[in-house]
């Protein structure tokens, strides 16, 4: 797995804990019930329901281990602390080609570009780290170089 330098916001940590609790309680029970029902059908050697349930059980147990690791080894960042430069947890206001954009810089486990959450490990996220209001940043994207100006940091 990854090293211990994974960052996460308080909100992200709460979501991971909620997901973990769901998997450990509801999902495990659901799969155990499916396995029990499949066993009642008889011969397990050609029982597709049993095989599917066992495969899902293995996947869920792997996900539980992964979530426990991330929760244990992530460093929680304080997203409510003020800073004069961009860091993990910063909400940044940008301008690019006369368009205004907002992003939140988050750890890789919380990344969701569709919701404006970009990873500090992504090329875009990395380019903004430690920059200040007023600075211009040029980022290489698939369409070529794109220039951003930092308008605000929260």
Which part of the chain has CATH 1.10.287.180? Answer: 6-77
Count of C-beta atoms within a 10 Å radius of residue 136: 12
CB 65 within 8 A of CB 55: no
Q: What is the pLDDT of residue 13?
A: 92
pLDDT tens, position by position, 108-149: 889 999 999 999 999 999 999 999 999 999 998 888 899 999
Q: What is the pLDDT of residue 79?
A: 62
Written out in words, the top-level CATH class of the domain with range 91-153 is: alpha beta
First to last CA, the chain: 32
Which part of the chain has CATH 3.10.50.30? Answer: 91-153
Kindly report the pTM of this predicted structure: 0.73
Q: How far apart are CA 93 and CA 101, in angstroms?
A: 6
Q: What is the pLDDT of residue 4?
A: 54
DSSP string covering 94-113: EEETTEEEEEEEE-GGG-BG
Tokens found for residue 134 = 């007023």
pLDDT tens, position by position, 56-115: 999 999 999 999 999 999 988 876 667 789 999 899 999 998 899 999 999 988 999 999
Q: How far apart are CA 113 and CA 124, in angstroms?
A: 11
> CB burial class (10 A; 0-12, 13-18, 19+) of residue 110?
buried
The CATH code for residues 6-77 is 1.10.287.180
Q: What is the pLDDT of residue 44?
A: 75
């Amino acid at each position: 797995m990854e090293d211990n330098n994974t960052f996460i916001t308080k909100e992200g940590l709460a979501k991971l804990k909620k997901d973990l609790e769901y998997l450990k309680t509801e999902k495990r029970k659901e799969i155990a019930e499916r396995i029990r029902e499949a066993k009642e059908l008889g011969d397990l050697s050609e029982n597709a329901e049993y095989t599917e349930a066992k495969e899902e059980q293995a996947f869920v147990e792997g996900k539980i281990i992964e979530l426990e690791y991330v929760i244990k080894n992530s460093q929680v960042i304080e997203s409510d602390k003020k800073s004069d430069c961009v860091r993990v947890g910063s909400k940044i206001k940008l301008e690019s080609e006369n368009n205004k954009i907002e992003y939140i810089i988050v750890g890789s486990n919380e990344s969701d570009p569709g919701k404006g959450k970009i990873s500090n490990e992504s090329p875009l996220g990395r380019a903004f780290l430690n920059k200040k209001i007023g600075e211009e940043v040029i980022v290489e994207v698939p369409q070529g170089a794109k220039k951003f100006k930092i308008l605000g940091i929260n």
